[in-house]
Amino acid sequence: MRYGEAEIANFDPERDLEVWPNNHDKRYKITITLPEFSCLCPRSGYPDYATFTLEYIPDRYVVELKALKLYINSFRNRYISHEDSVNEVFDTLYAKLQPRWMRLVADFNPRGNVHTTIEIDSATMEKESP
């Protein structure tokens, strides 16, 4: 196994998804495009590909980009649905970053004549009742 494959195979978001202090008090938006997301369909095993666009207004933290790349690449050999993968990425990043606002858009490439786009926006999420 090459060093990159080992980093991806052993990536643990709790341990390895590094965040850095945000050194700025002003409100500003960060946009990150991840055009090579891939995972495997849990039913067929066929590969699914997507472009993820992450936008957020940081509060105390910003995400370290290499760690984000490794996290996204860790889905490559996982059997996971579109919905589950997007929700997992959003929830993990939202918990780690605790941003003022965050949106994640996943635009999956068409497969079998079906095109899927999933968007999660922290401003429109319903709060769970206690």
What are the chain's domains? Answer: 3-121 (3.30.1130.10)
> Token pair 């341990």 is at which residue?
15
pLDDT by residue for the chain (130 residues), tens digit each?
Answer: 898 999 999 999 999 999 999 999 999 999 999 999 999 999 999 999 999 999 999 999 999 999 999 999 999 999 999 999 999 999 999 999 999 999 999 999 998 899 999 999 999 986 655 5
What pLDDT is recorded for position 128?
57
Cβ–Cβ < 8 Å for 36, 48: no
pTM of the full predicted structure?
0.93
Question: Cβ of 80: how many Cβ atoms within 10 Å?
Answer: 16
Q: How many CB atoms lie within 10 A of CB 28?
A: 11
| Phi, psi (deg, nearest 5) at residue 126 | -75, 140
Give catalytic residue positions: 41, 48
Is residue 43 helix, strand or coil? coil
Q: Which residue has the tokens 């996982």?
A: 78
